[in-house]
Structure formats: structure tokens, C-alpha cells
Amino acid sequence: MTRKQRRLTIIGGSLAVLAVAAALVLNAMRDSIVFFSTPSMVAEKHIQPGRRFRLGGLVQPGSLVRGENLSVVFQVSDSSASLPVSYKGILPDLFREGQGVVAEGAIDASGVFRADTVLAKHDENYMPKDVADALKKQGHWKDEYAKPNASKPEASGVAQGERGTVQ
Amino acid sequence: MTAEAGHYALVLALGLALIQSTLPILGARWRDLALMNVARSTAIAQLAFVAFSFAALVTLHVTSDFSVINVFENSHSMKPLIYKVTGVWGNHEGSMLLWVSILALFGGLVAMFGNNLPMSLRAHVLAVQAWVASAFYLFILATSNPFLRIANPPIEGRDLNPVLQDIGLAIHPPMLYLGYVGFSISFSFAVAALIEGRIDAAWARWVRPWTLMAWIFLTLGIAMGSYWAYYELGWGGWWFWDPVENASLMPWLAGTALLHSLVVMERRNALKVWTILLSILTFSLSLLGTFLVRSGVLTSVHAFASDPTRGVFILLILCVFIGGSLSLYALRASTLKQGGLFAPISREGALVLNNLFLTTACATVFVGTLYPLALEVITGEKISVGAPFFNLTFGPLFVPLMIALPFGPLLAWKRGDLLGAAQRLMAAGITGLIAMAVVWAWTLGGSTFAPLAIGLAIFVIAGSLSDMIERVGLLRVPLATAARRARGLPRSSWGTMFAHAGIGVALIGIVCETTWNSEYIRSMKIGDVAAIAGYELKLDDMSQRQGPNFREMIAQFSVRKNGQVLDTMTPSKRSFTTRGATTTEAALLTRGASQLYISLGDAAGDGTIAVRIYHKPLVLLIWFGPVLMAFGGLLSLSDRRLRVGAPKPAKSLRGLQAAE
């Protein structure tokens, strides 16, 4: 083989691998991406039952009801709308009423959001970025949600978040 | 006083870095030895000043000087000493100071041990290193000064985030930074080579030990971070495909590719242009990682509220360095001479394949990490890209890499014999198939994917071992002869074996943990027994205890197997009064390479407590694999032929370099 042919072999091989990778990425993009919504966006958009998404908002004070065997029900609200969420398992340490939360799951036929993952943040002043942005946009942002200088939790590499998983 | 001295030392370090970034280059241009030598003394002086500055911050933290904002926000007088020290880098300002300290350390090491580098190359390398350093000193002094004072000093500090009060913080960030920042050396060498317009096999010989050192630290740093997340977060996950983790994985993938392409360049003087590009990309990805972690742009469980000016500043640094070095590359790469030729089936070809898959896998991680950010900036739509995405893209790309891996070391340079390599791998292949069949039969009706993956992992391990077994002649020649031969083989070959086997070991751990992990989540009261994976865990007692800066509730479990008490486990839940935060301290019981894992949830009023118990089969292999890889790297680093002090000039290699 000449120099040119060898180079073409390598370039051809590289392009083939890149094409496969691009196909994998596009395929994965279609199936495994999860969108973020707030309760009012859910009300507007009429998200279909069974479609997975992330729901973010504040845990409505007084709405948390603990049931049998670690099942919990609470309302997630963004002040203009709210959505009931049911979850079974252990909630993260910093899950509190009145605090921000992000839950991942899907709405069932009865209109209840069934979460299989609940995310909270280890800092007591933490507001998930999505939730903060959404609240700011809707004008429900209160400055005390983010106390200056109080929320800088970080590990340099793998900083720690918390989440609960489904049973 | 200490704070002001530390601040002043940092300003002086900036001044030195500015001198170091200009004079040596002029010296190299004018062929002025004295000017070129400035690089050496300034690099060492810079290291001294930054080290002083870092020591000053440590002193402030240890003495709990709450008149300094950084100490007030992240420390507490009751905190144990070790966390007072580690708390120095458990916050933005301090961790940036650690970053530049390590940068200065590497610069100083090159200055001290680079005596055999050509003068102009050393001058250029240190100058480029100083450009990076100047940018980050400016960043710290302008936006993240850790030495700022408070007008009215409070009596007590706010305490360090409880999750970070763990020995993991003492090890993980410094390791990770030694890796991240260590790649700055390969970057500086690459840019210096582009400026000089000259690059040869000797260049690779000088760069490789530095790259290898950075890679070893990065490997250990990532593994350590993963293990830390595993035991500290309380739900047994060890990798979340979170952007912050991806930020460290991307330089690792690119760095691994770089290590392999450096081998080709060193031995065969080929792939020069590509190696230079990889050096630039690897450090660019490290910078990108710093940007992602430090600027707060991420929508992630790691996100933290931060000052946007910092983000913009780092973004600027990122653009200048990546844009600048890539433009320089575009301008100068064509002037670099072509290297040796090789057939597609050859050691070089195999290493090219390795590079191809590693960089492609790195690219998919890049897309998955940055796509959500880009989409949000462009359309405002918020999405999250999680584990399913990476499993579907990263996974399939790693499979062919793993299959090809054992073949690489068996192929000859220039022109290899694939059939011959396949024959020599026959035993490894059969071992893999048997493992696959055994696992499949043992877990009949279970996952079909797991036996395949384990078979592949066994193939990789057996393949790595079989090459060395054959070279040593184990089982064929008397043991004493074999031992003598084993000692005679180059350490870098042993390094290759350990590193490659490490991949297989980690894969076994990953597959076993994800497939056969069992969990038990229930609320329990004293006297209840949980049964999981053949173990019986009885909740014996719950008690309260006062720690130095927290209160904790401890649950005591006795673990039984077949009626025999094995051990007791004491998971706890700590509440830190200063921050009003709670953390879950999981209890781990190691049985072989498997672990039992208990973490506590909330205690209810009626005396019950939510409990999460996992049995994780062979989970320790996940981290044992990277440790093996790092050990392999260390062996290779200690190889005399590759020692930093033993480079050969390019001339002697030219004779060996065969044509077509």
C-alpha cells in the first residue's frame, strides 16, 4: 500500500467510527432526554401521562402526608399551580416543606405525579437552579431564598448531592 | 497579618509569573542564555511564593481566624483539626488557590528536574506554564481572593458544609487537581513545540513521564471521588454521569489517549501532529472542567449559587487558551515533519484505534454534558441528560475498544500479524467464553447482558496476563528461570499488563454491582430483622451521641449469616447545629470484594426509623480496577528507560527509524 492508501484507510476507519458515534448520540438524544417542567408549565402544556419529565417547584407547606411503608404524598407548587406528587422510599435529608425540590417521574392516569427519584440539595439554602429560574420568571422569587454568601457548598470534583431512589 | 502576607505573596507570584511568561521567550528568540535561565529561577521562586500563600491560608483556617471571610464562612472553632485543614480547599477561593499551587508545583518541578531539556525548549515550556499561571492568579486576585477581611469579625464561623467534613475531602480534590493541572505540562510542551516549530521523538520522551504522572493522579482522584460519593451520599450510587463527574472523566479519556499516542511518537516518531493536538485538547478539557465546576453554570445536583463574574472570567481564560493554542496549532502544525509509516494492522495501528475510540467516547461525553447548557442558552428549554444517554452512547463505544485491547500489545511495530495475535489470545478467548457460560448458567433466566460483559472483562484480564505469561515462559520453563525472566522484562510492559487488567477488573465490578445489587428499604423498629442476600440484619439499638460539632443518632445492627453473628454495623445520622444540616453516615461491611451497606432515613415519632440496606456484590472491584491501573502507571513511570532524566536526543533514534 502506498502512503496515500494507508492514510485513506485510517481516515475511512475514523469516519466510520465517528458516524457510528453520531448515530448513537442522535438515537440516545431522541429516547433518553428528560425535560424539566414546573407545575404551571404542566398545566399549560398538558403533558401526556406516562411521559417522563422532571418536576421542579417548592414543597407546599403542610402538604406532606406520610403513609404506610415509606410512601409519601406532597404537593409541589410554583405559586400559580400545584401538582400532587407521590413517592415511595426515603426522602433526601434536606427535603423540607417550603423548600425547593426536583422530582423525576411521570404523571399517572389520575393526574398524580409518580416520582421515582427525588432530588434535594445538601445546603439548607439551596434552591435548584431550574426552580429558581422558573420562580424568577414568574415573579415569585423572594430574596430570602438565596441568602448571600450562604450557599457555597462544593467539593472540587464530585461534590455531593442527595437523592432518594425508589424502592 | 498572616492574611495580608498571604495576599501579598500571591501578588508577588503574579509579578514573577508575568516576568516568566515574557523574558524567557525573548531570550530564546535572541539566543540569550541568561534571559532563558530567568524561567528557571522565576518558576522556583513562584512556587515558593504560592506555597507561602497557601500555607498562610492553612494557618488562618487552623487558628480559626474568623476575621477572614473565607475562614468565617467555611470553618468553625470546634471543627476537628483535619477538617480545618481540608476545609481550606472545601470552598471556591481555597480550591482555586490549591489549583494554582499545584500549577506552580509542576512548573517548579520542570524547572528543577528539566536540566537535560534543551535550553530554548525549557524556556518556552516554562513561559507557557507562566501564561496559564498568570491568568489564574489574576482570576483569584480579581474575583476570588481568599484573604479578604471582615470589618467586624464574628466570634464563631459558619462551619464547613457537613457533607464535606470527611476524609474524602482530604484526598479527592488534591489528587484530582494533581491530575487536571498536571496535564498543563503536556499542554505547555505542545505549545512550546509549536512555537519552536520543531518536534521529535525526544520531545515525546520528555512529555510522557509528566503526562503519566498526571494520569495516575487523575485516575486515583476520580476513583477516590467515586468511592467518596458512594459511602457519603447514603444511597450507594458510585457514578451519576453528573456534569461535574464528566468534567473529570473527559480529561481522563483524552489523557489516556494521549499516553498511548505518546508511545507511538516516542518509539516510531509518528503521529506527531495528532499528539500535539491531543496534548492541547486534554488540557483544554481540564480547563473546561474547571470552568464547569467553578463557574456555577451547571444545572446539576452539584450546582451552587455563585458570582457570575467568576464564570465570565473563567470563560474568558478558557476562550483565550483554547482558542489561542488551537489557532497556533492551525498555523504551525503543517510545518511539523511527517513521521514514520506503518501498516493499518500494527502496534501503531492498534494505538490509533485506541485513540479513535477513546476520543470518540470523550466526544459523546462532551456532547451529553454540554448539550443541555447549549440548548438552554439557545432556546431556554431545560432538559437533563442522564445515565440512559451515556449508557447508550459511551457503552457501545467502549465494547469494541475492550475487544481490541488485548490484541494491541501482541502486534509488532510497523507491520503486525493479526492472525498470530489471535492465536496467542486463544487461551484468553476460551477463558472468557467459559466465564461467560458459567455466569450464564449460574444466573439462568437473569440478565443476558451481564454474562457477555463479564466474559469480555475476563477476556481482557486473561489477554493482558497471557502476553506476560508467555514472555516469562511461566509453566514452560523452571520457576527460577521464569522469575529471572520476569525481572528482566521492562517495567513498562508490566505496567501495561496491570493497567489493562485493571480495566477488566473494574468492568467486572461495574457489571456485578449494577446487575445483582439487592436493596431493602423499609421502616424498622428495635428488634426487627431485615433479610437480604442471605444475610440477616437485626436492629438492636438506637442511641444518641454528641460529636465535636454535631449530634448524631446511631442505630446498631447485628449481622448474621446462617445464624452466626458476623459483625455489628452502626449507621448514623448527624445533625450539624451551625448549618442546621443533617448528613447520613452509611455503615459498610466488607465481605471479600462485596459490601453490605446501611443508611438511615428519617425517624418517625412511633420509634420506627426508615432504613435502606443494600447488598452490593463485588462492588469493591470498581475501585480496585483504577487502583491497578494507577499501579501499572507507576510501574511504567519507574521504568529506567523512560525516566525523566534519561532522554536520548532525536539523532540516535533516526538511525532506527525504518522507511516504508
At B374-395, the pLDDT tens digits run: 887 788 777 888 888 999 999 8
Average pLDDT value for residue range B472-501: 87
pLDDT of residue B659: 37
Listed by number, the residues of chain B in 155-174 with a beta carbon closer than 8 Å to a beta carbon of chain A are 158, 161-164, 168-169, 172-173
Average pLDDT value for residue range A74-79: 85
* Dist CA B535 CA B594 (whole Å): 12
- B301 vs A1, A33, A121: nearest CB: A121
Asked if B164's CB is within 8 angstroms of A34's CB, the reply is no
Q: Is residue A73 helix, strand or coil?
A: strand
Asked if B90's CB is within 8 angstroms of A154's CB, the reply is yes
Average pLDDT value for residue range B162-189: 90
* Dist CA B428 CA B71 (whole Å): 56
**Overall size of chain A counted in residues:** 167
Residue B76 C-alpha from the chain's centroid? 30
Q: Is residue A155 helix, strand or coil?
A: coil
* Dist CA A155 CA B72 (whole Å): 18
More confident residue, A96 or B28: B28
Please state the domain extents for chain A.
Answer: 1-33, 35-145+159-165
B318 has a pLDDT exceeding 50: yes
Asked if B393's CB is within 8 angstroms of A21's CB, the reply is yes
B517 at interface of A, judged by CB pairs closer than 8 A: no
* Dist CA B265 CA B275 (whole Å): 8
In chain B, the N- to C-terminal Cα span, in Å, equals: 67
Give start and end residues of each alpha helix (H) in B269-386.
272-295, 308-332, 347-379
A26 at interface of B, judged by CB pairs closer than 8 A: no
* Dist CA B266 CA B276 (whole Å): 13
Band of residue B485 on the pLDDT scale cut at 50, 70, 90: confident
Q: Is residue B604 helix, strand or coil?
A: coil
Instruction: Give Cα separations from B97 to B2, B60, B312 (angstroms).
Output: 15, 14, 18
- Of the candidate ranges A65-74, B278-287, B313-322, B624-633, the one whose mean pLDDT is the lowest: A65-74
Q: Is residue B232 helix, strand or coil?
A: helix
Render pLDDT for B602-632 as a digit per residue (tens, 0 to 9). Answer: 887 778 888 999 999 999 999 999 999 999 9
Chain B: nearest CA to A110, how far in angstroms? 25
Chain A residues in contact with B298 by the CB 8 A cut-off are 129
Strand pairing partners for B529?
Answer: B538
Band of residue B310 on the pLDDT scale cut at 50, 70, 90: confident
- ipTM value, please give it: 0.77
The β-bridge relationship of strands B572-576 and A52-59 is unpaired
CB pairs under 8 A between A and B: 208
Average pLDDT value for residue range B3-23: 96
The x, y and z cell numbers of residue B228, run together, are 467518596
* Dist CA B224 CA B228 (whole Å): 6
* Dist CA B386 CA A52 (whole Å): 12
User: How open is the CA angle B132-B45-B288, to the nearest 5 degrees?
Assistant: 20
Instruction: Give Cα separations from A66 to A105, B526, B608 (angstroms).
Output: 19, 20, 13
Chain B: nearest CA to A109, how far in angstroms? 24
Give start and end residues of each alpha helix (H) in B380-478.
387-404, 418-424, 426-442, 449-472
The x, y and z cell numbers of residue B210, run together, are 509528566
Q: Are B463 and B493 in contact (CB under 8 A)?
A: no
Substitution target from A54, A158, A162, A163 for chain B, most B beta carbons within 10 A: A158
pLDDT of residue B630: 97
Asked if B242's CB is within 8 angstroms of A31's CB, the reply is no
pLDDT of residue A123: 40
The overall average pLDDT reported for chain A is 73
Q: Are B340 and B658 in contact (CB under 8 A)?
A: yes
B535 has a pLDDT exceeding 90: yes
- If one counts every other C-beta atom within 10 angstroms of the C-beta of residue B628, the result is 23
* B473 φ/ψ sector (left φ>0, alpha ψ -120 to 50, else beta): left
B420 has a pLDDT exceeding 90: no
Please state the domain extents for chain B.
Answer: 1-165, 166-407, 425-516, 518-616
Chain B residues in contact with A151 by the CB 8 A cut-off are 304-305
Tell which residue, B244, B63, B82, B73, has the closest CA to residue B144: B73
B87 at interface of A, judged by CB pairs closer than 8 A: no
* Dist CA A48 CA B386 (whole Å): 21
Substitution target from B304, B394, B598, B606 for chain A, most A beta carbons within 10 A: B304
Band of residue B181 on the pLDDT scale cut at 50, 70, 90: very high
- B384 vs A54, A127, A153: nearest CB: A54
B48 at interface of A, judged by CB pairs closer than 8 A: no
Asked if A119's CB is within 8 angstroms of B301's CB, the reply is yes
- B304 vs A6, A94, A152: nearest CB: A152
Q: Are B294 and B304 in contact (CB under 8 A)?
A: no
Q: Please report, as a single letter, which amino acid is at residue B193.
A: A
The overall average pLDDT reported for chain B is 88
Listed by number, the residues of chain A in 106-135 with a beta carbon closer than 8 Å to a beta carbon of chain B are 119, 121-124, 126-130, 133
pLDDT of residue B142: 92
Tell which residue, B282, B213, B293, has the closest CA to residue B252: B282
- B225 vs A20, A119, A157: nearest CB: A157
Q: Are B495 and B634 in contact (CB under 8 A)?
A: yes
Q: Which of B50-54, B172-176, B405-409 is predicted most confidently?
A: B50-54
pLDDT of residue A161: 38
Chain B residues in contact with A13 by the CB 8 A cut-off are 344, 353, 356
B172 has a pLDDT exceeding 60: yes
Average pLDDT value for residue range B331-356: 84
Average pLDDT value for residue range B528-548: 91
Band of residue A42 on the pLDDT scale cut at 50, 70, 90: confident
- Of the candidate ranges A51-55, B144-148, B246-250, B646-650, the one whose mean pLDDT is the lowest: B646-650
* Dist CA B184 CA B119 (whole Å): 19
Q: Are B111 and B126 in contact (CB under 8 A)?
A: yes
A167 has a pLDDT exceeding 60: no
pLDDT of residue A130: 59
* Dist CA B588 CA B229 (whole Å): 13
Asked if A69's CB is within 8 angstroms of B522's CB, the reply is yes
- B344 vs A10, A66, A152: nearest CB: A10
Q: Which residue has the cell 471521588?
A: B225
More confident residue, B534 or A43: B534
Chain B residues in contact with A55 by the CB 8 A cut-off are none
The x, y and z cell numbers of residue B301, run together, are 445536583
- B385 vs A13, A20, A33: nearest CB: A33
* Dist CA B247 CA B289 (whole Å): 4
Helices H, strands E: what count in chain B? 20, 11
A136 has a pLDDT exceeding 70: no
Asked if B367's CB is within 8 angstroms of A154's CB, the reply is no
Chain B: nearest CA to A79, how far in angstroms? 20
A154 at interface of B, judged by CB pairs closer than 8 A: yes
B497 has a pLDDT exceeding 60: yes
Substitution target from A160, A166, A167 for chain B, most B beta carbons within 10 A: A160
B300 at interface of A, judged by CB pairs closer than 8 A: yes
pLDDT of residue B4: 94
Tell me the backbone φ, ψ of residue B410, rounded to 5 degrees. -90, -15
pLDDT of residue B27: 93
Which uninterrupted H or E stretch holds A43? helix A39-45
- Residue of chain A whose Cα is closest to the Cα of B355: A14
Q: Is residue A149 helix, strand or coil?
A: coil
Render pLDDT for B70-112 as a digit per residue (tens, 0 to 9). Answer: 999 888 888 899 999 999 998 889 999 999 999 999 999 999 9
Chain B: nearest CA to A148, how far in angstroms? 9
- Of the candidate ranges B138-147, B417-426, B600-609, the one whose mean pLDDT is the lowest: B600-609
Tell which residue, B328, B243, B210, B345, has the closest CA to residue B280: B328
Chain B: nearest CA to A58, how far in angstroms? 16
Residues 6+ apart with CB under 8 A from B430: none
Chain B residues in contact with A158 by the CB 8 A cut-off are 172, 225-226, 228-229, 242, 244-245, 248, 302
pLDDT of residue B624: 97
Listed by number, the residues of chain B in 218-247 with a beta carbon closer than 8 Å to a beta carbon of chain A are 221-222, 225-226, 228-229, 232-235, 237, 240, 242, 244-245, 247
Substitution target from A154, A162, A163, A165 for chain B, most B beta carbons within 10 A: A154
One of 3.60.9.10, 2.40.50.140, 1.20.1050.40, 3.90.1150.10 is the CATH number of A35-145+159-165, namely: 2.40.50.140
Asked if A18's CB is within 8 angstroms of B90's CB, the reply is no
Query: For residue B335, what is the DSSP state?
Result: G
pLDDT of residue A141: 53
pLDDT of residue B159: 83
* A17 φ/ψ sector (left φ>0, alpha ψ -120 to 50, else beta): alpha
Which pTM does this prediction carry? 0.89
